[in-house]
């Protein structure tokens, strides 16, 4: 925990909006800002979502100051209506007045004038524009990406960066916030980060914890914060050294990569999706999918990447047995003999996808996603995978995946991606 050593400067994120605290939306700004701030070298103390209530927002800012934060980034509450009160609350927190920025008022009016007319009276519209042009004295204004300007407000405590709530506006305004003089001055005091990121498939958190316990006996690792996170069936291991502990972090990353090399996806954080895309492009191979229980989600994940049309030819979602036979040429008697969920049918689906689409690599997935349809021999979560290639490689798996319907489908897509990656990198 490095209690006595140098710590990174602390930062916090405050998200406003009643839709957050009622659970209507899952916030994306918080994690995005947390990653940015962590990558800049801050220690993020907390992410705090509050409703559109001035007292609660003011209390949140005081709480951040009391936690020793040198930087607070807020999102939301910059709109034209009475509920949008971030600017006013931050001004009060900073102990300064709001002043009308007339030039800004005109720029916002010009933006609003471009928007489609809505049923709103001019007085309400102008009041809204005026409200958005009220700036805490001395604040830096960040030009609107949508209609709301951002603000950078210096206080006796933390520097407060005020950003709009819509994620697209927030992320597009962020570079201007970073480039501003007050943020640049603050960043000059932040030690450079030196995080390491490892990615595994098929490794458990408990195994990593056990390895870490062993390594801690070889070397003092107290100044390296290790976070493990299971996402898309992969274990992501993040190492974040406190200032001065870069060597320890490097040593630890190398040890972790070596000791679990058999299940390492990448030692630099590169994703499976990136690795597979590169491998297919490098080998000049095309791919086609045949999906049953995953219902098109594997194809959707493959074409998620820009430029994927260079190697994804398409896919077939064969939810019914008739579709498996008609579109993929899976013999009806094969289904009859082994069942629609069987290694034999998965292989015939992979071959069928290749044939139907003229692809080099085919993958077939068939399984019992549940909640119904399970049997003692083939329970819910039983999924058969097969990848075949035009050069004659075959890689097959059958797995019993845990969880409910959505879990089984998501894990099947993850497993399919890994099976494709393994096939393409070994059978190239």
Among the listed ranges 138-146, 176-184, 200-208, 246-254, the one in contact with its own copies (CB under 8 A) is 200-208
Decide if residue 22 touches its own copies (CB under 8 A): yes
Q: Does 426 bind its own copies (CB under 8 A)?
A: no
Q: Check residue 191 for interaction with its own copies (CB under 8 A).
A: no
Our finding on whether 408 is near its own copies (CB under 8 A) is no
What residues contact 31, with CB distance under 8 A and at least 6 apart? 47
Cα(407)–Cα(423) distance, rounded to whole angstroms? 24
Identify each DSSP E strand in 96-218 by its residue range: 98-100, 134-136, 140-142, 150-153, 159-163, 196-201
The residue within the footprint of its own copies, chosen from 65, 140, 239, 298 (CB under 8 A), is 298
Among the listed residues 218, 319, 332, 426, the single contact to its own copies using CB under 8 A: 319
Nearest residue (CB) to its own copies, 95 versus 307: 307
**From residue 262 to residue 291, what is the string marking binding to its own copies with x (rule CB under 8 A)?**
---------------------------x-x
When asked if residue 49 is in the footprint of its own copies (CB under 8 A), the reply is: yes
Selected from 88, 101, 238, 398, the binder of its own copies by CB under 8 A is 238
Asked if 63 touches its own copies (CB under 8 A), the answer is yes
Residue window 363-402: x/- pattern of binding to its own copies, with contact defined by CB under 8 A: -------xxx------------------------------
Pick the binder of its own copies from 30, 77, 381, 416 (CB under 8 A): 30
Separation between Cα atoms, residue 160 and residue 176, nearest integer Å: 14
Q: Could you tell me which of 14, 28, 44, 418 has the C-alpha nearest to residue 227?
A: 44
Residue 299 Cβ vs its own copies, minimum distance, rounded to whole Å = 3
Structure token digits, residue 71 = 């930087």
Residues in 140-179 at the binding interface with its own copies, rule: CB under 8 A: 168
In this chain, which of 185, 332, 337, 406 binds its own copies, going by CB under 8 A? 406
Q: Judging by beta carbons within 10 Å of its beta carbon (0-12, 13-18, 19+), is residue 85 exposed, middle or buried?
A: buried
| Cβ distance to its own copies smaller for residue 1 or 188 | 1
Q: Which of 212, 217, 218 is nearest to 253 (CA)?
A: 212
Q: What are phi and psi of 210, to 5 degrees?
A: -65, -40
Q: Which of 358, 391, 400, 426 binds its own copies (CB under 8 A)?
A: 358
How many whole angstroms separate alpha carbon 354 and alpha carbon 361? 6
Q: Considering the complex, state which of residue 188 and residue 206 has its C-beta at the smaller distance from its own copies.
A: 206
Does 315 engage in binding with its own copies (CB under 8 A)? yes
Question: Would you count residue 188 as binding its own copies (CB under 8 A)?
Answer: no
- Interaction with its own copies in 78-117: which residues (CB under 8 A)? 81
Closest CA to 257 of 249, 405, 320: 249
Q: Cα(327)–Cα(320) distance, rounded to whole angstroms?
A: 11
Q: Considering the rule CB under 8 A, would residue 58 count as an interface residue with its own copies?
A: no
**Cβ neighbours of residue 298 closer than 8 Å, sequence gap 6 or more:** 289, 291, 315, 363, 365, 412, 413, 416, 417
- Under a CB-based contact definition with an 8 Å cutoff, are residues 290 and 364 in contact? yes
Assess 26 for contact with its own copies (CB under 8 A).
yes
CB of 141 to its own copies, least distance (A): 23
Q: How far, in Å, CA of 152 to CA of 160, rounded?
A: 6
To its own copies, the closest distance from the beta carbon of 205 in angstroms equals 9
Whether the CB-CB separation of 162 and 71 falls below 8 Å is answered with: no
Residue 34 binding its own copies, by CB under 8 A:
yes
CB of 24 to its own copies, least distance (A): 5
């Amino acid at each position: 925990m490095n209690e006595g050593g140098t710590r990174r400067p602390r930062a916090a994120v405050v998200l406003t909006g009643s839709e957050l605290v009622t659970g209507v939306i899952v916030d994306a700004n918080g994690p995005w800002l947390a990653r940015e701030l962590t990558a800049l070298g801050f220690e993020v103390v907390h992410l705090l979502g509050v409703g559109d209530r001035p007292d609660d927002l003011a209390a949140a800012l005081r709480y951040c100051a009391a936690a020793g934060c040198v930087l607070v980034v807020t999102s939301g509450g910059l709109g034209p209506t009475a509920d949008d009160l971030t600017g006013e609350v931050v001004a009060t927190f900073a102990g300064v007045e709001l002043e009308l920025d007339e030039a800004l008022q005109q720029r916002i009016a010009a933006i609003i004038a471009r928007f489609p007319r809505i049923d709103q009276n001019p007085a309400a519209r102008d009041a809204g524009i005026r409200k958005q042009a009220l700036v805490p004295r001395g604040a830096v204004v960040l030009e609107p990406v949508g209609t709301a300007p951002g603000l950078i407000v210096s206080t006796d405590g933390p520097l407060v960066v005020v950003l709009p709530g819509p994620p697209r506006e927030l992320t597009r305004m962020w570079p201007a916030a970073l480039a501003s003089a007050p943020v640049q001055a603050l960043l000059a005091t932040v030690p450079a980060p030196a995080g390491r990121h490892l990615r595994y498939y098929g490794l458990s958190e408990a195994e990593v914890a056990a390895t870490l316990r062993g390594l801690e006996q070889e070397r003092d690792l107290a100044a390296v914060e290790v976070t493990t996170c299971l996402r898309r069936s992969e274990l992501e291991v993040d190492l974040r050294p406190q200032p001065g502990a870069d060597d320890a972090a490097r040593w630890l990353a190398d040890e972790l990569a070596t000791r679990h090399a058999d299940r390492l996806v990448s030692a630099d954080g590169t994703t499976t999706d990136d690795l597979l895309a590169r491998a297919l492009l490098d080998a000049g191979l095309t791919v086609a999918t045949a999906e049953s229980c995953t219902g098109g989600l594997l194809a959707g994940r493959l074409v998620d990447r820009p430029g994927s049309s260079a190697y994804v030819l398409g896919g077939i979602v064969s939810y019914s047995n008739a579709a498996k036979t008609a579109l993929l040429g899976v013999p009806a008697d094969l289904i009859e003999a082994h069942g629609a969920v069987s290694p034999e049918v998965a292989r015939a689906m992979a071959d069928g996808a290749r044939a139907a689409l003229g692809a080099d690599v085919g993958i077939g997935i068939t399984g019992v996603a549940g909640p119904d349809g399970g049997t003692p021999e083939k329970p819910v979560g039983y999924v058969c995978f097969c990848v075949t290639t035009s050069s004659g490689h075959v890689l097959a798996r059958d797995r019993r995946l845990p969880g409910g319907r959505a879990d089984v489908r998501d894990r099947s897509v993850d497993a399919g991606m890994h099976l494709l990656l393994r096939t393409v990198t070994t059978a190239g």
